[in-house]
Structure 1
């Protein structure tokens, strides 16, 4: 890596990661379902925690602002998911061993990634990696992710961002359910991690005018929006409206250097190709090689070549951040704040080399004179400007709500509205009949749990993007059916039958065990 000017630059750089998957346990295996969870866990979550633990051991603090949705932490702590993950890692190890011992001709052209010689060499490396991951998981993850995450938060290595239960698209959600989901989501983080987040990553960075008052009432002091929501001026956090709640905007010029709709580091020819599989072993033995090259013609993955590309891209990004801090500070006449924000799953799952890039970057930035800190530290350091009024917005296509509220998903919007109306009416009636001194109502709890799973923002996103759209519609309608089935049975006066239904659905959808319908705001 080339040596940059080590002189300090003004302001602060913040790296923000958003960790989220929908509830996948008990809802399909392949190609969408639990496989999605296990792939992300093995390729992104395990390496990221390893990187953060390594850097924490070097007494480095304030490294990243880590968003963790309640639904993903629920899965990373769930005994069923932990057992499934252990089996998945063992299967990965066996598939790698199969590749390492391959002798059968594959019919692949010489010099490509799927010749027996290339697969054997790849399998040896992959076996070592799978074995290391399995040992890491067995030694450290037996009680789930929460103990590991709590250590990092306690040490100040990361700042935690929370979010509402089940990742709903908040602007379209009934206000009472929106308030309930947010408060329960923050409480869930407090119970698991020993820290109630003071900041959140709002699902899809979605915002509607007035939501800042909801945040203030829930104790949220800052949240993320996309750059265009701040009219492209992301050099400082901005209080929203007449509140003290600060919106931090993603700097697109910096963020898109890594990951953009059209380009970015992961598409470099040296990096492992995400889309090219060896169908015999299910491994990914090819490098990107070049644009427009057929999968069968792609070259074998070369770790040395990829490692050199990582160094070059770390150097490039450090230079970009330095230049951006200098230019933005000069433009506004005071130290500026630069925020790069990404989905956590980019680092390792989509971009195999991403965790290595992150580790080297977080060492290289301070060496290049860049102050690295969290969003909370940015507020403490005074990197906040004048109040602003935000427009309705998101970080989706068009930066508006079209992905979650457009014509293509109008049926899901209608479904959500009907299910929420049914659920709230039923729960209100059940709680009123039970009286103020009643114990928890597990039927009402499950109705709200299934409702929140119905309105997950993942389902319309997958439909709008034509990414496993059939699965997404199936999941939305499945949880809607569960909500209606339990609610209708309860409304018909068949309490015993409603309890049996709630118990049955809870076997598949038993996340958020502390969810308590009694805390739903009254109509």
Structure 2
């Protein structure tokens, strides 16, 4: 019998597109390797364990189009395989270094067993691909796959350019369908950014439901009768739900969230900052800058005097926290159920996927124990969003409010004085693309039509990459801000240079334009190879 309480655990997997084929080792590509080794693969392993044990329940996973491009990129996957083996080699050096250390050696042995298991799973079971595993998990009902908008643009910043939003959404649907073989029904809005009327644009592309920050639903007009505990129907006929704050605070809160417990692993104490460069070797150094290794020996402790990590203590604690999380959701359902006319309470628990494993090392184990605990409950179950998101309890139509998640809750992170300079650049790029398209159409391309089309398609890729919300987030939070600025300026300059070369070629008639930059960018920023079908 189905439980009346539906816990919708929704993980959003996204990374900015970083691909540098000219470099054997590139610092920012490490973001992808970290997420693969610490989050994506461990979560896949965990879900297959649950399936093998017969534990019921479904995890909901949103994967951005930019991340899908990286997850299916052969060169990045080969580099990731090497990354796993380089970590294993470093662990062997650490084993020798701490052979006589009774505190650190058990941690090294724990990491070594984990690393070898990961390598074996990646190479022997996954055949160095992760997408087939996601498909299998979807087919067996352990995973509901959703998507996210294109390169992760903060859509409210572009509401004056609906054409640009439509291009991003077109990319979204096609990228997902190309990889998974079916059209996506649910959508994670980047940064939960919503503006009134967006639902009508989403409906054009066949989306059926999406998600908002709590106040995006609570401030809807009219006010939803059941708040965030049931889907609401929007004017365009889509359904949406808002984040439930109680479950969010238990995990996200810096002061009271589970990941901050003194027994869990300390994130900010990687050995890259404790070892000499010669010891780390070239692979874990970018010039004079250390590259994080993923090896961390300390627990949070609760003070600056960090104590050595105790893996088994931490994993035991995970069971307690998972039990508490489920118990609190049971209490919420029990309290609300008499007031719900539909005899069902839905609880949306959305998080960045990388929280589980990367930021919170024990996170995947926490999810596994949640599923096991929920399996013993008569009150709640870990449910697919597909079981809930196609009806509303109150039957009314609600217009959600402009909103976002993050600091302030109304887009402040992505629209502020620190990043306001980027949006005029975007509209300049749009102007150059429109001018080039008009010129190309006027002369029908001539003998070089196919070549000029390549220029236009690459300009579109650069424009999409420019729109990623990650850059504004990094600048605002002063995290890799210089890299973010270089990416914004770089994509703008790429569009400008492609425009200049292409227009010069068109004005010269039959003379072939300079294609050196075009060839380089087609090799580097090679995502969405079919984008011409959408232009």
- TM-score when scaled to structure 1? 0.89
| Alignment CA distance shift 1:136-1:143 (3 Å) | closer
2:303 is the counterpart of 1:288:
no
- Return the alpha-carbon distance in structure 2 between the equivalents of residues 209 and 452 of structure 1: 23
Counterpart contact for 1:82–1:142, Cα < 8 Å:
no
* Per-residue Cα deviation, 1:218-260 (whole angstroms, up to 9, x for no partner): 100001111111117201111112x211111111111221112
Task: Specify the alignment match of 2:308 in structure 1.
Answer: 300
Task: Specify the alignment match of 2:269 in structure 1.
Answer: 276
1:332-411 aligned at under 5 Å gives the runs: 332-334=340-342, 335-369=344-378, 370-380=380-390, 386-411=396-421
Task: Specify the alignment match of 1:145 in structure 2.
Answer: 130
1:63 is aligned, of 50, 58, 61, to 58
Task: Specify the alignment match of 1:510 in structure 2.
Answer: 526
Task: Specify the alignment match of 1:223 in structure 2.
Answer: 210
- Return the alpha-carbon distance in structure 2 between the equivalents of residues 383 and 147 of structure 1: 37
In structure 2, stretches of 5+ residues that fail to align are 220-226, 281-292
2:334 is aligned, of 319, 326, 334, to 326
Shift of 1:428: 4.7
Which range is displaced more, 58-67 or 350-359? 58-67
Shift of 1:24: 1.5
* Per-residue Cα deviation, 1:274-294 (whole angstroms, up to 9, x for no partner): 01122226420101111xx22
Counterpart contact for 2:110–2:311, Cα < 8 Å:
no
1:478 is aligned, of 490, 511, 514, to 490
| Alignment CA distance shift 1:404-1:179 (3 Å) | same
2:48 is the counterpart of 1:53:
yes
Counterpart contact for 1:78–1:144, Cα < 8 Å:
no
Counterpart contact for 1:239–1:245, Cα < 8 Å:
yes
| Alignment CA distance shift 1:327-1:418 (3 Å) | farther
| Alignment CA distance shift 1:384-1:447 (3 Å) | farther
Task: Specify the alignment match of 1:24 in structure 2.
Answer: 18
2:512 is the counterpart of 1:496:
yes
- Return the alpha-carbon distance in structure 2 between the equivalents of residues 301 and 410 of structure 1: 43
Shift of 1:118: 2.8
SS in 2 for 1:223: strand
2:319 is aligned, of 292, 303, 311, to 311
2:139 is the counterpart of 1:154:
yes
Counterpart contact for 2:471–2:484, Cα < 8 Å:
yes
* Per-residue Cα deviation, 1:111-161 (whole angstroms, up to 9, x for no partner): xxxx94433222222111111111111123435222111112222222111
* Per-residue Cα deviation, 1:333-359 (whole angstroms, up to 9, x for no partner): 442211101000001000010001101
Shift of 1:374: 1.7
| Alignment CA distance shift 1:247-1:433 (3 Å) | farther
* Per-residue Cα deviation, 1:170-199 (whole angstroms, up to 9, x for no partner): 122221121011112111111111121111
- Return the alpha-carbon distance in structure 1 between the equivalents of residues 395 and 311 of structure 2: 45
| Alignment CA distance shift 1:431-1:234 (3 Å) | farther
2:196 is the counterpart of 1:195:
no
Which range is displaced more, 117-126 or 62-71? 117-126
- TM-score when scaled to structure 2? 0.87
- Return the alpha-carbon distance in structure 1 between the equivalents of residues 36 and 56 of structure 2: 24
* Per-residue Cα deviation, 1:470-514 (whole angstroms, up to 9, x for no partner): 111111111111111111211223573354422211111111122
Root-mean-square deviation (Å): 2.5
Moved over 6 A (4+): 27-31
* Per-residue Cα deviation, 1:39-97 (whole angstroms, up to 9, x for no partner): 11100011011112222334556512110001111111111111110111001111111
- Return the alpha-carbon distance in structure 2 between the equivalents of residues 61 and 387 of structure 1: 34
Task: Specify the alignment match of 1:119 in structure 2.
Answer: 104
Aligned pair count reads 498
Task: Specify the alignment match of 1:14 in structure 2.
Answer: 8
Counterpart contact for 2:414–2:473, Cα < 8 Å:
yes
SS in 1 for 2:62: strand
Which range is displaced more, 305-314 or 118-127? 118-127
1:164 is aligned, of 146, 149, 153, to 149
* Per-residue Cα deviation, 1:415-449 (whole angstroms, up to 9, x for no partner): 2232233234324543564489x769222111100
In structure 1, stretches of 5+ residues that fail to align are 1-6, 105-114
Task: Specify the alignment match of 1:183 in structure 2.
Answer: 170
Shift of 1:372: 2.4
